[in-house]
Structure 1
Amino acid sequence: MANQDILPPEILQNIFSYLATYQPTLHSCTLVSNSWYKSSVAFLYNSPAIDGKNFDGFVKAICPSVNAHVRVNGLAALVRKLDMSLLVHNGSKSLTARLLGRVKGNLEEFVAPQASFAYA
């Protein structure tokens, strides 16, 4: 048994709950071991910090396939709060619609992305 696996999952989850707003740190925790991943991934995806840099990667993690029945993963069920206010959409909204379709089952709070308008 590795040293990081000595703590029971309940203790790890308690520790990770204090890191809920530190997404890069939580991401690092998911990479330590399988037990750390299982204990920290829910906190990482509970209220993800989404911006223009990580939006595509987040969508690919939640919606790995265009077809809803293909490669459905459990990450979408972990998202409770989705704040997309840092995004500005000015083109196709299909990725956003696909993302919302996947997370809508457990979503408790949603903040829509900004919309940009242009004159023709």
Structure 2
Amino acid sequence: MHEIRLNEIYDPFDMTHMTMSGEFEYKQTIEIDKGIYVDFDVNDAPVSIEMIMASKHFGLLSRNFENAKKEGKIMITHESIRFEMHVHFMKRLISIDREISNDFGIESGQYSFSNY
């Protein structure tokens, strides 16, 4: 499994943008669910995650989401793309799990990510 350390930018409009450190060549953006987008590079590796109304996906207040530790996995097969994200807040683990059909030709792979 490839591990990716993401740099997070959170804005006051409850949008979070986590981007891989370093340079990459952008290929495409895939909408995983309403308000959840993953960018892939030319090697079909996920390089960026953007969440609109991020705190709402986890049932948290925006200020609590902003300061929480976040981690997850992106698992890609020829059939599907699965996105899991976990937020650690006050000794609680809050998770989302979404899966879509891989109609984009993204190569198989498993990636873990975190903002810490």
More strand by share: 2
TM-score (norm 1): 0.21
More helix by share: 1
Say which structure, 1 or 2, has more relative contact order (CA 8 Å, 6+ apart).
Answer: 2
TM-score (norm 2): 0.22
Which structure has the larger Rg? 1
